Structure 1
């Protein structure tokens, strides 16, 4: 599990390292620049003889670029370092590194190091094209649109055919939200210092950052972990984390001991959703899965799912679930169940929505609420926060989220929004999208690194909800169940696209990939 930080949290980690532990800022800059140069050499080497142009601003990001230039020069590269400011306008550490580079330039007998001041795009365009550009113009902290001359320089850089490596954050990208502020560098690779920045991973960040490599610069890990407690920060799980969370079965396990999952879904014309959810719950390891559905579609679901039991629920004359009669029919199964999923394909009949709200106020089961279950809560969720008690997993996509939070809900800063709403609703909030986010009532947010656009097809959300309830039924706490389900489902989609075209994936393909992924990536070593 690794921290994902905002600009403010990163500044606080820097400050603590410098002031509390006595590691000078100049040392951090040297370590950052050397680490970035190593990353560049690994990706674009051999460096000897390469022509590299580095654009350096006046701040510490520019200082990192100056160190990169010095290190790559020592390794035989031809460097042109285009300066947006002189030493008198730079931060102290950046100015020190500029003076070091100027001293090298005075001793440069073979003409491999040039330090021109930026004058115009015409000047830059006249330079001999390099093999590689390095963007060290701004880094983190930008909050408003780029102004001249930087906006024009960024647009010019994006038009060049050579690859660009960004240091820390591509210039023009908001480091917290991934929003493009007017225009932003489109990097082939971003080397980011100490910890991933949130804006590299959300919003427009992935399209502008390219491949992201995090390098250590000497900040103690516990300092970074503490910084991740700041608003807007997140945690990124990995295979080892998920493997450690996955439920294990002992030799005495039986179908009831490993969890009965109860799936409540389906309505006329919407029979596929509860099937996908129920099969997913079984695939992820729930020992017994029951699908409760409208009586009119129970024969259809029983025919589709030979390994899943079904329960018919009484309906009203006009097709909704009868609130009182359905609750009575469901009661014996609720007593045996260890987890509940409400919503896939249930429909929006007023009687059904009344049934959903009554059900949720009368059960203390860990519960996943998806699709039409969420629609039934629109306008009521704040009143039910106490009932949720941290046991609910809400799984909205962006449209459903806006129905819950209000149409003016701001999804620009997705991490902070998920933090706020998970607290407000006293629930685990799984916000779908790429990347998916999981927020918890205590303010922690997990940013999922798996998955790809192949999941943009009907039914994959039902699979995700089924994975959540299957893990809940096996005893995982709601937060871990949501994070593990999202991670494993995304890993299955990634596995599918390694050998098939992503546009061809269906929810059934996801279910077919899941057992192989669980076996190869999430089975503990014995």
Structure 2
């Protein structure tokens, strides 16, 4: 599913109206009716005799709110409208729906006048559900009074909140929240999701996202113009390789992993085991000789190779020739989990960068070895997939981590363009980009914030590359599958008790659900 900015959605609306003759008021009517359906589904017996309070502003979002009010009233709900503007400021299709509401003999309560906050408080405290139709996708900046205080009341009321298109206070193009903002339980967005609903912190205010049809022609929504996508199971399924009855292990790809050091054998284990579970035909793990016996005992389905080591049991610079021989038999390299930042190991990574000729997934200490070395990344002669968390990203592009967190979207695209590579920026709503395409992940949960989770992701991505996926699709599919395995694990283990090994346990089930 494509993801759009407010401006892009506006363009699609105008095309539907001007090119295909769908009146704007029809789009507004359809939008409002879809919101009504979500509100009605909150109650087992429907909305009859339920009290609904609707917050309405002067724009088209408010016009949607008037449609919601009318249909809920017709269904037997008690509807109270809190109007945040002089009705004379309402124009166009929104004014048509305001006029219908008043001609039905229904009133509204002005809250932009003296005493308005107290009136809003009374309404909120008597409500069964609240509907936010205050600001739309054009909102920027900070919510002002009296809306600011009323939004805080709504959030603290304990009543469920349904947002129309986007929670008021979220910036549609960035997800930024600069002040008070409705914290919705459900957001009903129209035609396509907006960026701000999927990027933090906006995603945290969105609640359950419902992307609904308002009759904009499908072929307008399914084009490739914007190249931003919300990852879904159907999309990932199309990318996964089909296995014929005659397939053999050599057809399923050969993964080489360089990982681990003294005290960090778990990272190597998790990466290797994840690669095997994600469908790679053959997995080989190269580790420092001093920890090789540990890996031999821990791994059954993975081949292990002892490599020259430093006195600290990390990979030595002298391991380069052995690694070169291993690379000739591999389809993809996974580099970095648990390697350490020993100076000699860092030097080995630098030397490898100029030798690589197969796709390479770089994570953890592989990334740390390349901090401030963007020229080594951009100069690589093979496709690279970098999988940083925000701290690693900050070190790679030499900016404060706070700047990465404030604008994750720009950070991932800029590194992809400057590094001529694919970048996966970890976190809530993991982002994947090659500088041209952007994928936003829809799976995963806070329980995955545990040591080793990233190592599992590295193994999954490497396995997908080995099976023939191009780098950006492998990274995007890997993020989705990884998050889905985490969701399955959470449903069984809970959030607090989830560990990285659980992700590997649930990988087969996650793949089966998609495949």
Fold-level match, TM-score > 0.5? yes
Match of 1:136 in 2: 133
Instruction: Please give the alpha-carbon distance, in whole angstroms, between the structure 2 residues aligned to 1:518 and 1:215.
Output: 27
Cα drift, residue 255 of structure 1:
2.2
Q: Which aligned pairs between 1:113-132 and structure 2 lie closer than 5 A? A: 113-118=106-111, 119=113, 120-127=116-123, 129-132=126-129
Q: Is the 8 A contact 2:354 2:376 kept in 1?
A: no
| Secondary structure in 2 matching 1:341 | strand
| Secondary structure in 1 matching 2:368 | helix
Cα drift, residue 219 of structure 1:
1.8
Cα drift, residue 57 of structure 1:
0.2
Match of 2:334 in 1: 341
Cα drift, residue 224 of structure 1:
3.0
Cα drift, residue 100 of structure 1:
1.1
Report whether the alignment pairs 1:381 with 2:374.
yes
Instruction: Please give the alpha-carbon distance, in whole angstroms, between the structure 1 residues aligned to 2:61 and 2:156.
Output: 22
Cα drift, residue 276 of structure 1:
0.6
Report whether the alignment pairs 1:399 with 2:406.
no
Tell me whether 278-287 or 207-216 shows the greater mean CA deviation.
207-216
Q: Deviations over 1:185-241 (max 9, x none)?
A: 112211111111222222122332221111111222332345861xxx731122222
Tell me whether 253-262 or 457-466 shows the greater mean CA deviation.
253-262
Report whether the alignment pairs 1:360 with 2:359.
no
Q: Which aligned pairs between 1:390-469 and structure 2 lie closer than 5 A? A: 391-408=383-400, 409-441=403-435, 443-469=436-462
Match of 1:22 in 2: 21
Q: Which aligned pairs between 1:181-196 and structure 2 lie closer than 5 A? A: 181-196=178-193
Instruction: Please give the alpha-carbon distance, in whole angstroms, between the structure 1 residues aligned to 2:460 and 2:430.
Output: 15
Report whether the alignment pairs 1:60 with 2:56.
no
Match of 1:109 in 2: none
Cα drift, residue 318 of structure 1:
6.1
Match of 1:490 in 2: 483
Match of 1:308 in 2: 302
Tell me whether 126-135 or 484-493 shows the greater mean CA deviation.
126-135
Cα drift, residue 516 of structure 1:
2.3
Q: Is the 8 A contact 1:228 1:235 kept in 2?
A: no
The alpha-carbon distance between structure 1 residues 306 and 124, as it changes in their structure 2 partners (threshold 3 A), is closer
Q: Is the 8 A contact 1:177 1:412 kept in 2?
A: no
Instruction: Please give the alpha-carbon distance, in whole angstroms, between the structure 2 residues aligned to 1:388 and 1:154.
Output: 53
Instruction: Please give the alpha-carbon distance, in whole angstroms, between the structure 2 residues aligned to 1:292 and 1:491.
Output: 29
Instruction: Please give the alpha-carbon distance, in whole angstroms, between the structure 1 residues aligned to 2:311 and 2:201.
Output: 49
Cα drift, residue 62 of structure 1:
0.4
Q: Is the 8 A contact 1:347 1:372 kept in 2?
A: yes
Q: Is the 8 A contact 2:390 2:404 kept in 1?
A: no
Q: Is the 8 A contact 2:272 2:459 kept in 1?
A: yes
Cα drift, residue 354 of structure 1:
1.4
| Secondary structure in 2 matching 1:144 | coil
Cα drift, residue 425 of structure 1:
1.4
Tell me whether 150-159 or 41-50 shows the greater mean CA deviation.
41-50
Cα drift, residue 489 of structure 1:
1.3
Cα drift, residue 18 of structure 1:
2.2
The alpha-carbon distance between structure 1 residues 211 and 37, as it changes in their structure 2 partners (threshold 3 A), is same
- Please report the RMSD computed on the Cα atoms of aligned residues, expressed in angstroms: 1.9
Q: Deviations over 1:354-389 (max 9, x none)?
A: 111211211210110000110111111244314255
The alpha-carbon distance between structure 1 residues 388 and 446, as it changes in their structure 2 partners (threshold 3 A), is farther
Tell me whether 379-388 or 140-149 shows the greater mean CA deviation.
379-388
Q: Is the 8 A contact 1:234 1:415 kept in 2?
A: no
| Secondary structure in 1 matching 2:71 | helix
Q: Is the 8 A contact 1:87 1:99 kept in 2?
A: no
Tell me whether 355-364 or 238-247 shows the greater mean CA deviation.
238-247
Instruction: Please give the alpha-carbon distance, in whole angstroms, between the structure 2 residues aligned to 1:241 and 1:42.
Output: 28
The alpha-carbon distance between structure 1 residues 291 and 154, as it changes in their structure 2 partners (threshold 3 A), is same
Q: Is the 8 A contact 1:388 1:427 kept in 2?
A: no
Q: Deviations over 1:290-348 (max 9, x none)?
A: 1111122222212221221111221345655332x312111221111001001011110
Instruction: Please give the alpha-carbon distance, in whole angstroms, between the structure 2 residues aligned to 1:34 and 1:179.
Output: 28
Instruction: Please give the alpha-carbon distance, in whole angstroms, between the structure 2 residues aligned to 1:507 and 1:410.
Output: 25
Instruction: Please give the alpha-carbon distance, in whole angstroms, between the structure 2 residues aligned to 1:451 and 1:466.
Output: 17
Instruction: Please give the alpha-carbon distance, in whole angstroms, between the structure 2 residues aligned to 1:228 and 1:449.
Output: 21
Q: Which aligned pairs between 1:102-113 and structure 2 lie closer than 5 A? A: 102-105=102-105, 113=106
Q: Deviations over 1:73-116 (max 9, x none)?
A: 122222111222234212311111111111111xxxxxxx3322
Report whether the alignment pairs 1:474 with 2:470.
no
Instruction: Please give the alpha-carbon distance, in whole angstroms, between the structure 2 residues aligned to 1:293 and 1:319.
Output: 9
Cα drift, residue 477 of structure 1:
1.0
Tell me whether 5-14 or 333-342 shows the greater mean CA deviation.
5-14
Q: Unaligned 5+ residue runs, structure 1?
A: 106-112
Instruction: Please give the alpha-carbon distance, in whole angstroms, between the structure 2 residues aligned to 1:19 and 1:382.
Output: 49
- In the superposition, the TM-score normalised over structure 2's length comes to 0.94
Cα drift, residue 182 of structure 1:
0.8
Equivalenced residue count is: 508
Instruction: Please give the alpha-carbon distance, in whole angstroms, between the structure 2 residues aligned to 1:228 and 1:208.
Output: 28
Report whether the alignment pairs 1:372 with 2:372.
no
Match of 1:269 in 2: 263
